[in-house]
Amino acid sequence: MQRGNKCVFFNCGKSKRTNNSLYLFKFPTDPERARLWLNNSVIIGILGNIDLLSETNLKNRVVCEDHFDDSNFTDERKIRLKKTAVPKHFKEESSDEESCPNAN
């Protein structure tokens, strides 16, 4: 992976440059899944007419580990994502209180 890749997630922008131990995950090569990732991580409107789903664009896009639930990883070290992993929706993440229906 190229150095200096920044997390595209809404309001994030973390990169290896600022956090060396950060794990960044490339967008899935499957267009359907890539679209899910995009929907959850960016406000599509802001990016205007850029063809986000074109292969070249997605190749250079990454999302950092912060936006995935623990259950999305194949192990505790959070190095590898499951094939089915999808980042949390940015609106969900930016809310102050986490809803925990199972807390009781």
- Nearest Cα to 73, choosing from 85, 62, 90? 85
Q: Choose, by CB under 5 A, the member of 9, 25, 27, 73 that binds Zn ion.
A: 9
Please give the Cα distance from 21 to 15 (Å, whole number): 10
User: Are 81 and 68 within 8 A, CB to CB?
Assistant: yes
| Residue 7 in contact with Zn ion, rule: CB under 5 A | yes
Q: Which residues in 19-48 contact Zn ion (CB under 5 A)?
A: none
Contact residue for Zn ion among 64, 81, 85, 86 (CB under 5 A): 64
> Residue 6 Cβ, how far from Zn ion at the closest point, in Å?
8
